[in-house]
Amino acid sequence: MPLVTRVTDLIGRTPLFELAATTTGTRLLLKLEPFNPTGAAKIRMAREMVLDAERRGLLTSGGHIIESTSGNTGLGLAVVAAERGYRFTAVVDHHACKDKLRAMRAMGAELVFVADDGDDNLATSAREDLAEAMAAARPDAYFTEQHNNDTNAVGYYAVAEELLEDVERVDILLSSVGTGGSLFGTATRLRQLGCPAYVIGVEPVGSIAFGGEGGPYWQSGTGTPPGATIGTAVDYSLLDEGVKVSDVAAFATARAVAKELGLMIGGSAGGSVHAALSRLEEFPAGSTIVTIVCDGGEKYLDTVFDDDWMRERDLLDPAAEDDVRAMLHRYVPAGRRSELAEAR
């Protein structure tokens, strides 16, 4: 890495981690986006949305960025706003991770809450309505509107390019769907580069993007809750399959991966990893499966990795964690298997 002068110059070139492999040569690779600044993938699209707004004259010197966010997009926009001299207001709820909110404030963002203290329900629709109204009332403001911004997906084109620099092909792209930008932007660029991967989207049980009954869920930054509008960044024309994973299974996976490997992944990534591990032997022999880990588990120490928080919400399930650990043991990649043998 050459010497850089801006934090956003550090975006990208995130590593690939082989989490699991079968005896038939199928392997599950994790694209570790926590290695980006802010510890998340969404700084990629935050930068692209701002640069696009500048190119189109929607943001000018001293302008004001407004966005509804559960945290990671807000963190990315806070960095970009600080670098480029913009004011940034994040419209948030108390469902968001506290450390994400603290970090946005630390970087100069103004936080506007749509719910009272103690109300930790997900309020996506209320957030977006308020962000839109605030931007409309301010002549210098620009609502980045991540769910319906075409450059959301464009921001992830580099993920596909990086993947094909590191592996010969991606057969299956399996990842969580929030705004949809990371999965469908990566899938679009893979197709453009001659790699038409089979695309599997993962959402929480309770999310409505793939149909079914809506309801509450605790996975952060992913899914579409009842009452919220599914944004245009969710490109159903690219979706081959949509699956749902419960909070219990997603969080058990994140916790088991941390305990077994020392790798901290967020709850939504836990959902994707659970979906992949559960079906690993169903995929064609020799397949390369990639899951985009959109953020790290360090942001969820007071939620997913806190036994009391989990127990209070009836999410703590040691048996489910044991099931995930058993899958991790069953599918240990050859390289790690040899290391374990040497250690013994």
| Residues annotated catalytic, as ranges | 42
Q: Which segments of the chain are extended strands (E)?
A: 16-21, 27-32, 64-68, 87-92, 110-113, 141-143, 172-176, 198-204, 241-245, 288-293
Rounded alpha-carbon distances, angstroms, from residue 108 to 72, 78, 300: 15, 7, 22
If we measure between CA atoms, which residue out of 38, 41, 44, 43 comes closest to residue 30?
41
| CB-CB contact of 141 with 63 (8 Å) | yes
d(CA 87, CA 127): 18
Strands of 288-293's sheet in order across: 16-21, 27-32, 288-293, 172-176, 198-204, 241-245
Bridge partner list, 143: 66
d(CA 126, CA 145): 13
- Single-letter amino acid, residue 104: M
Instruction: Dig out the tokens for 101 from the structure.
Output: 């909110």
* Residue spans of alpha helices (H) in 262-317: 267-278, 307-312
| DSSP-derived secondary structure for 207-274 | B-TTSS-------TT-S--TTSPPPTTS-GGG-SEEEEE-HHHHHHHHHHHHHHHS--B-HHHHHHHH
Total number of residues shown for the chain? 344
Bridge partner list, 204: 245
Instruction: Dig out the tokens for 229 from the structure.
Output: 């509008």
